[in-house]
Amino acid sequence: MPDILIRGLNAQAAKRLKARAKRNGRSLQGEAKLLLEQAAGTGTEEIAAVLGRWKKRFAGCKLAGSADLIRQDRDR
């Protein structure tokens, strides 16, 4: 697992990050790691895997269109 060193971080930003980590019950490193992973987003391989699982789960299922349900709801 790669390590990252952040140089020259603004003192106020570090202070806010420490406070945030404390509020969330995490270490400073844990909070920074979570934020970086969220900012990096989800990789295409992960998305493809999730979509593949959903495709298998609903294979062969006939799903009704929602237009009729919406019309019925509007007519009430």
Domain assignment of residue 24, yes or no: yes
Given a cut of 80, is residue 5 above it in pLDDT? yes
Tell me the per-residue pLDDT of 42-75, one tens digit each, with 9 for 90 and over: 889 999 999 999 999 999 888 778 888 898 899 8
Domain assignment of residue 4, yes or no: yes
Percent of the chain with pLDDT over 90: 75
Contact 31, 17 (CB under 8 A): yes
- Give this prediction's pTM: 0.59
Neighbours of 21 (CB within 10 A): 18
Domain assignment of residue 76, yes or no: no
Distance of CA 54 to CAs 33, 45, 49, 50, 63, Å? 29, 14, 9, 6, 13
Domain assignment of residue 71, yes or no: no
In this structure, what token pair is assigned to residue 42?
A: 């989800």
Domain assignment of residue 68, yes or no: no
Q: What is the extent of the structural domain holding 14?
A: 1-59
Domain assignment of residue 9, yes or no: yes
Tell me the per-residue pLDDT of 11-46, one tens digit each, with 9 for 90 and over: 999 999 999 999 999 999 999 999 999 999 988 999
Q: How many domains does the chain have?
A: 1
Whole-number average pLDDT of the chain:
92
Domain assignment of residue 73, yes or no: no
